[in-house]
Structure 1
Amino acid sequence: MKANRMEAFSDGVLAIIITIMVLEFKTPEGNEGHVLLPLVPKIISYMLSFIYIGIYWNNHHHLLHLIKYMNGKIMWLNLLLLFWVSLIPFTTAWMGENQFDPTPTAIYFIIHLLAATSYLLLQHAILGQHHKEFPLAKIIDNGFKNKITPILYFLAAVFAYINIALSFLFYVIVTAIWFIPDKRIESALEIK
């Protein structure tokens, strides 16, 4: 089976996830700017999650674009990734509504950790199936991003109870390293 069907399904799920997140916003009463102030934590939560889902969508697209064929294991691991990502709207709303209290924030980062782990498992399965012929094998196997991401998400979850600013700093670092495209991946895509 070709990966384009799985990619289309995944794109649809990610679009629905983003839609669900924005539907969490309720229109405030009144027409003056100050009525938006209570929504600031929810807006920040939404922006963080929107960027995160965009990063996953981008990297997921690159990964699936190079698959020549897939099996049931890859399909199930892709569903596992989508499962964890589908919980982001819930944790985003919970964290925003509770103004970044420790428990909702820690759970938010744990969901990110589980999604990142699922993504790494998906990458590993794809590499295992395609072996040396997969153009990104060396890049993915030796990637600093893959090694540091789970550690930083774990630290973000732990530090949610210690220092919320430091907790979000770990999250911002993960976002920054994945937001910047890897030129090696772009080069490998051009080869195909």
Structure 2
Amino acid sequence: MFRVRAHHTDSTITVYQAYRPEIGRVAARTGRFPSSWKRDRMTWIKPSFLWMMYRCGWGGKEGQETVLAIEISRAGFVWALRRACLSHHVPALHGDQASWRRQLRRAPTRVQWDPERDLRLDPLPYRSLQLGLAGEAAARYADEWIVGIEDVTPLARQIYAHVRAGELDRAAGLLPEERPYPLGADVLAHLRP
């Protein structure tokens, strides 16, 4: 199943990223990415807390020690999805490989659907969205869409400590509430393989 699940309000959606402390801590303190944040690289945002934990090893991987919860505008998120291309070729959606490559080159955003994760970071039978932002999309993300940035590294470590201790109910009770994110069928139609 391909559906976006996220922590969200009427006007925002929370996505996650992990950075080196010199970027992540400054971003959390100031609410903006510092000048050392590379605007010319694709940056991937993840609405799933547990998929982020899988990717960053609960904040233990080198270069990903600071886990951020970044609240962005729903309008920005939808803008990105409407302009996205799947990161892999699907003949029914893209036609031939050459057409897909052209779409991919032009798109300021990319979508990947990866298996969602449980508390032990094992794959679940449904998919979680990752959204890659480049060029105009990365600039809009950094300069326009961000409403707030919170360092959730302590939360990640607390949850992981409960997981390691076998206290899965306690760990689950600390997870951010993620529920289906309401999107019109037209927003995701070109992104469902």
Q: Which has the higher strand share?
A: 2
Give TM-score scaled by structure 2 length.
Answer: 0.31
TM-score computed with the length of structure 1 as normaliser: 0.31
Structure (1 or 2) with the larger CA radius of gyration: 1
Which of the pair is proportionally richer in helix? 1
